[in-house]
Amino acid sequence: MPPNTVVDIPDFADIHLARARINDWTRLTPVLSDPGLDRELGCFVYCKCENLQRTGSFKFRGASNAISRLSEDGVEGDVATHSSGNHGAALALAAKLDGRKAHVVMPENSVVMKIAAVRRYGGIVHFCAPTQQSREDELAKLVEDGKIPVPPYDHADIIAGQGTAALELIQEVSTLEQVITPVGGGGLISGTAIAVGSTGQQVYGVEPEGAADTVASLEQGERVKSWTPDTIADGLRAIIGERNFTVIRNQVRQVFTVSDEDIRRAMYLFWQELRMVIEPSSATVVAAIRNHPEVFAGKKVGAIISGGNIDPGNWQSLTKRN
């Protein structure tokens, strides 16, 4: 295969290459653990704090990798995507660092702070109705107009970039037995599964009950293509991608679901024990570990804390005291 050909699904080597490629742009995020959190969850949890990644989420890894690949391949021009927020902000900053503009299609009901972030990093926001179809239609117009599409999760370079968080985590904590990540479109979990596939950790995923299209897809044996999401975890409302579903089906041990109530309590717990405000999507992993002692009790668990992009003014309304 010639160099720089985009393969459909990346392998372990692609994640190492991505890690080297994005090294100067991304932050080596801290891995934090806490005895109080461990006591609450009944296991040893190592939190990879992507809430402290640049742009406030792991999405900056995939966006940086995708944009860097464009440059390596000599592809010039502005980029475009659709995103409820985190991928949009990430792409805006990655594009800016590479001297490009990013056009971001966002649902009208996006979190205000996420819209502001896209703009602050130099992105141009295009609003659309809050449906998958509307997002795709609006993006298609931008692509017709010559912008280069950079999809949020169903893309080899994005998956490879997102896998670098887990790569860093297992390099820092080599004794991990399990890794768990949230599941939205599936970029993070598929990258994670590929990153740890050769080192033996079991990989788990978690979805909100109100956006459990991946669990439904696994049950049906094929990808569910329509789902009307109803959850406070705004980062996980997407439908699982095709490449992503393929990886999950082959390499992920189980995908759990958690309720919005579980998520609220997990957000509160995380603040209480670790003094970090995280977004609802991130709290799903804490909730799943708490709900499933039959899987996690006594284990060394790597938890990818995916992002921290909420308005802290909304924290109280999003959390519930335990």
Q: Which residues in this chain contact a copy of itself in the complex, by CB under 8 A?
A: 27, 30, 32, 34, 51-52, 54, 56, 120, 271-272, 274-277, 308-309, 312-313, 315-316, 319
Cα 297 from Cα 288, distance rounded (Å): 12
CA distance 68 to 150: 12
* Cα–Cα distance, 123 to 104 (Å, whole number): 7
Judged by beta carbon, residue 281 or residue 309, the one nearer a copy of itself is 309
Considering beta carbons, is residue 78 or 311 the nearer one to a copy of itself? 311
The least distance separating a copy of itself from the CB of residue 233, rounded to whole angstroms, comes to 17
Taking the least distance from each CB to a copy of itself, the nearer of 44 and 256 is 44
* Residue number, 96 or 253, with CB nearest to a copy of itself: 96
Query: What stretch of H or E contains 91?
Result: helix 86-97
Non-local (6+) Cβ contacts of 268 within 8 A are 319, 320, 321, 322
Of 16, 64, 41, 19, nearest to 303 by C-alpha is 41
Phi-psi region of 146 (alpha: psi -120 to 50; beta: other; left: phi over 0): left
Instruction: Compute the distance between CA of residue 223 and CA of residue 239 in angstroms, rounded to an integer.
Output: 9
Q: How far is the CB of 130 from a copy of itself (least distance, A)?
A: 25
Shortest distance, position 97 Cβ to a copy of itself, whole Å: 9
Distance, C-alpha 196 to centroid of its chain: 16
In terms of CB distance, is 51 or 257 closer to a copy of itself? Answer: 51
Minimum distance of a copy of itself from residue 181's CB (angstroms): 19
Nearer to a copy of itself, 56 or 152 (CB): 56
Minimum distance from residue 313 beta carbon to a copy of itself (Å): 4
Task: Name the minimum Å distance from CB 33 to a copy of itself.
Answer: 8
- Largest Cα–Cα separation, the chain: 55
Contacts of 294 (CB under 8 A, 6+ apart): none
